[in-house]
Each structure stands twice: as structure tokens, then as C-alpha cells.
Structure 1
Amino acid sequence: MMRAPALLCGALLLTSCGGDPIEAGDAAPKSKVANMPVVHEIRITDALATMRQHPDFTIFADLVRKADLAQRLSGKAPITVFAPADSAFDKLTVERRAALLDPAQRNALVRFVAAHVLVGRASARDLTEAIAKGQGTAKFQTLAGKPLSISRTDLNMAEAPPASDPDVAETVPTRASDMLVVTEEGGGSSLVTATDLEASNGVVHVLESVLVP
């Protein structure tokens, strides 16, 4: 008959010492909550600001400003920008790069920048659907008023393996190697290396080469 008080005493002792660690461990969850990283709100900016904030578009963003097209690319009218990465300008000759910065050739600079901008918003999905409807090629109009053709190419199929070499594996088209190709009428063409950089007034796609009108 004396065991019940002993058990009760033991229970009271556990309670006073903290008891169940799950119930007595309020401090641990509070510590985790206090140390949780703060998630900052992602602010989507206009196309020009998006390029200015990106480390790979410093040259093209500067050319937009020099061409006095900053207001057009930062306005509310929807646009699609095919922005050449800074490395794309390394492919130009010294003379061509100098011409882009020549104040006497400002009209040519305006045409150059405008050749990389579409009127209206076109995401990668929009471009893909337009290519399918166009049976392999989609046509758009640039801000310069010239046609821009967009198609797809499979990098794995760019070079066929030699039939005489049995050790070379046959190339097989894959979605991963299927890339968009942009061609400006009377100008150049470029692969699209990244897509869908969201902007408040449209979208920015990344080019590996410039489209020289």
C-alpha cells in the first residue's frame, strides 16, 4: 500500500526536473525560429533595370542608354529583349565595336539595339508554340521594323558522326540540346543560351552573339 505515494513522488520529481524533454523543450524551437533566415521579397523591375542589375549585360544596357532607348525599354509597353551577353561583343571586330560607340553613327546604334527588341512579350513557351505553328520557324517584328526569325536546332545533330568509325556513338536528339536560334533579316544569328528573365514590362532572353543589322 506504500508504493502509490512513492510513484506519485517520482512523477512529481520528473515534473519539477523538466519531465518529458519534448514538453520541456520549448527553448529549442524558439531558438530555431529566431535563427531562421529572413526571406526578402523579390521585386521584378523593368527590362532595362533587369539588365543593369545583371552582371552579364553591362555592355548592352549601356548601348541602350547611348541609343536613347532607355525610356522605351523601361516603359509599360510590353517588349521582349534578346540581350547579348557581354562575351558576345568579344566576337565583333575592333572596328565594329568602335563604330557602336561613335556619336557620328548614332542612327546605326539605334538600329543595332532595336534589332534585339521585339514588340510585345514572348516567353520561351510562346516562342516554342509559335515555332510549332510556323512548321519550324516563327516570324516576329523587331523594334527596328525588321523581321526576326526564330527556330530550333539540336546541337547533338550539328555534326554527324563518321560512318566509318564504329567507336563514335550515334548522336541522338534530346530536349536538353534543343536550343532556340534567333536570326535577324540582313544581319546575324545567335543561339539563345538562357530564357525568361522576368521583367515588369516583358521578358529578357540571353544571346551568345549579337545580331548585327
Structure 2
Amino acid sequence: MFSQNLRKVFMVKLIPLVMMSLISISAFAGHHMESEKADIVDTAASKEMFSTLVAAVEAADLVDTLKGKGPFTVFAPTNKAFSKLPEGTVEMLLKPENKALLSQVLTYHVVSGSVMAEDVMSLTSATTVEGTDITVVTAMGKVMINDATVIKADVKTSNGVIHVIDTVLLPAEVKKAL
């Protein structure tokens, strides 16, 4: 008698509960997968705070590269980061005749491979796609990339990861040119 009641409770109450849980889990997993399908460029383009970065990537003809297979790690400066540059710098960099200089600045924000926050925390430097190194310092609960602070880490994309930074990184050679 007890086992029949237990079976009835199982069939009537637990199976629907288990099914609802599985449906919820699969719906969540589908949503998670969906958010990771966008590549680095599409992910950045979907956020207003990266509109200057996206315009710069377009002006430097780096869209196809950053939509490529990768994986890439991008230290992505926000619009606010670009506004901290000396007045007229962004406009000057976006001019067609400064495309090589702009490309140098942007590729200085990119590291080959998918370097997650956990990995960044164990680094002291990293070689950028531009060819020179950036300094990585982890102290007092924050991560610094040169003079920039990582304000959001591990934005996963289909072809790498974005770490949001609060300052535009400038290679030494570009600093001299400005």
C-alpha cells in the first residue's frame, strides 16, 4: 500500500516538477549559448558604450579581422575612456590619412588567444597583436593594464573575450606622435 502511494506521489508530483526543472535548465542554457554566438565586433556594436571603439575599428578596416576565427582577447575602452584623450585626438586618429596609426592603437588593445580574468591575474605582461607588450598589474582587488583599470571582465564572445577598460592604451611610439 505504501509503495503504491509513493509511486502515485512520484508520478503526479515529482515527474512534472523534474520536467519543469529540465525545461527551465534547457531554456537557460539556450539563452546562455545565444549570448555567446555574437563575435567581438557584434558584441561591442550592441553596446552604446563602445560606439567610439566600433567606429575606430571600422575606420581602421579591422572589422573582418576581429570577426575572424580568433580567439582574441580585447581590452575594450569605453566611450568615456576615449573622451579622456587630449581634445581632438579621436578625430585626428579617425582621419583616413592616420589609418596606420589608428590600427596601431587598436591592435595594441588585442592579445592573441582567449585570456580570461583568471589567467590575466597571473600575468605581469602580455604581447599585443601590435607587437609590443602591455603591463599587467593585479593589486588590491583590481587589474590594471598599463594605466587602464579593468572595469568588467570576461565578456565572452564566439571568437574570444572582451575585458572592458577605462582608459585608451597607447603604445609608446604613438604617445610620441601625439
Query: For this structure pair, what is the TM-score category when the shorter chain's length is used for normalisation?
Result: 0.7 to 0.9
Question: 2:176 corresponds to which residue?
Answer: none
Q: Is 1:150–2:125 an aligned residue pair?
A: no
Counterpart amino acid of residue 147 in structure 1: D
Q: Is 1:140–2:126 an aligned residue pair?
A: yes
Give 1:118 deviation, angstroms.
0.5
Give 1:95 deviation, angstroms.
2.4
Q: Is 1:90–2:83 an aligned residue pair?
A: yes
Counterparts of 1:123 and 1:41 in 2: how far apart (Å)?
Answer: 21
Question: 1:19 corresponds to which residue?
Answer: none
Matching residue within 173, 187, 190 for 2:148: 190
Counterpart amino acid of residue 137 in structure 2: S
| Identity level (%) | 29
SS in 1 for 2:49: coil
Counterpart amino acid of residue 63 in structure 1: A
SS in 1 for 2:129: coil
Question: Which runs of no fewer than 5 residues in structure 1 stay unpaired?
Answer: 1-32, 132-137, 155-177, 184-188
Question: 1:79 corresponds to which residue?
Answer: 72
Counterparts of 2:167 and 2:138 in 1: how far apart (Å)?
Answer: 16
Counterparts of 2:44 and 2:90 in 1: how far apart (Å)?
Answer: 20
Counterparts of 2:90 and 2:47 in 1: how far apart (Å)?
Answer: 21
User: Which deviations, in whole Å up to 9, do the C-alpha atoms of 1:108-159 show, x marking residues without a partner?
Assistant: 000011010111110001111x23xxxxxx22111101111111132xxxxx
Give 1:81 deviation, angstroms.
0.2
Give 1:212 deviation, angstroms.
1.7
Matching residue within 34, 48, 55 for 1:62: 55
User: Which deviations, in whole Å up to 9, do the C-alpha atoms of 1:13-61 show, x marking residues without a partner?
Assistant: xxxxxxxxxxxxxxxxxxxx9xxx9867341111111111122111101
Q: Is 1:203–2:166 an aligned residue pair?
A: no
Question: Which runs of no fewer than 5 residues in structure 2 stay unpaired?
Answer: 1-19, 172-178
Q: Is 1:119–2:112 an aligned residue pair?
A: yes
Give 1:77 deviation, angstroms.
1.7
Please identify the structure whose Cα radius of gyration is greater: 1
Q: Is 1:46–2:39 an aligned residue pair?
A: yes
Specify which structure has the higher proportion of helix. Answer: 2
SS in 1 for 2:61: coil
Counterparts of 1:212 and 1:95 in 2: how far apart (Å)?
Answer: 15
Question: 2:8 corresponds to which residue?
Answer: none
Give 1:103 deviation, angstroms.
1.1
Counterpart amino acid of residue 149 in structure 1: T
Counterparts of 2:139 and 2:51 in 1: how far apart (Å)?
Answer: 28
Q: Give me the CA root mean square deviation.
A: 1.9
Give 1:79 deviation, angstroms.
0.5
Counting matched residue pairs gives: 144
Counterpart amino acid of residue 145 in structure 2: V
Counterparts of 1:56 and 1:202 in 2: how far apart (Å)?
Answer: 19
Counterparts of 1:140 and 1:50 in 2: how far apart (Å)?
Answer: 23
Counterparts of 2:84 and 2:125 in 1: how far apart (Å)?
Answer: 26
